[in-house]
Structure 1
């Protein structure tokens, strides 16, 4: 009887110890928040319009400004090639040049993206980096997003009510980041990739699962920021 009691006691003790050990090994999210600063090297090597436009905005008197403006226009035009997407009317070169040269932005105008008769885009949308079966909708959304991003970056108005969050995903798992506040956004971020969303300034709660680790953070968004997420060692 004593042996049975001792075996039972040891079994319970070992089970409790192993559960405590497992809890101690629970994964946590490593977060790094920074103000976005673009370098000349990034602007020269990246094919993302956001990065080149950001560098131009942060370095208005740079010696290679004309080179980077031409590169920015070339990348956007290539991404909106009518040969590749015959059913979509792309951003015109003239419109892109006006955005980049900042000729319309200080007048408080809304930059149109498509001249076709389409519904006004909603602000509460999902911006995804993955493929969409509806190619027309995908390209149209991307055009709107690119135009809105360029307008925002080149806007020098201090009363600008928008900012964008860029999420860098360093983990091996795809993220669906929920941004909840005065408005709601879902941001799809591929594994080892990044994605961004333009939002109204204010307080938001960011939540997601980084692999098996839960992430939740309250952010007061008053300027463009970048958040890097990974699973801590």
Structure 2
């Protein structure tokens, strides 16, 4: 007949069972209680489009911040249960971008989407020598060692357009009459600068709001010029 198991033997078996359980490897579905992120690389990228020669005064430039982290997850026993790399490409949101032209530096800024709207006919560039402007350089800086640069060539045709257009856009409007206003609008359009032509037209409409007679004369001359 089998002898009943002594109590101490029961305790021994139970203890061995617990020890066996504790020595089993962590299950794949273990929950991480602590996560460490280590920055592996940090870069900026300036995307000025495939064509690096400016043939128009305007160009949308997109700046992206690129971050690569090593992510390590730990369990309650502080053992690493997972390790992987995490890559992020984020818009360079509302950040400063420098523009260098003829050894002069200008401060520009991206929008919320990381896009910089470059327009060489903006007022800050008026005093540049467009005849001899061969390149413009864009510089974005996120900190020491984190710098992106991009150089754009200025085409000969654009240099010629800029020399004439800067006068058409920025000369004093009050010193010229309706005929000259209409000429400037149509000439900008003929140079392929539709955006500047529309802006000048809208500006003159606003400026003549207080003088309905002058505004009517301007609109009539403008319409007449379009029908030619």
Do they superpose with TM above 0.5?
no
TM-score (normalizing by structure 1): 0.26
Higher RCO structure (Cα 8 Å, ≥6 apart): 1
Tell which structure's C-alpha radius of gyration is larger.
2
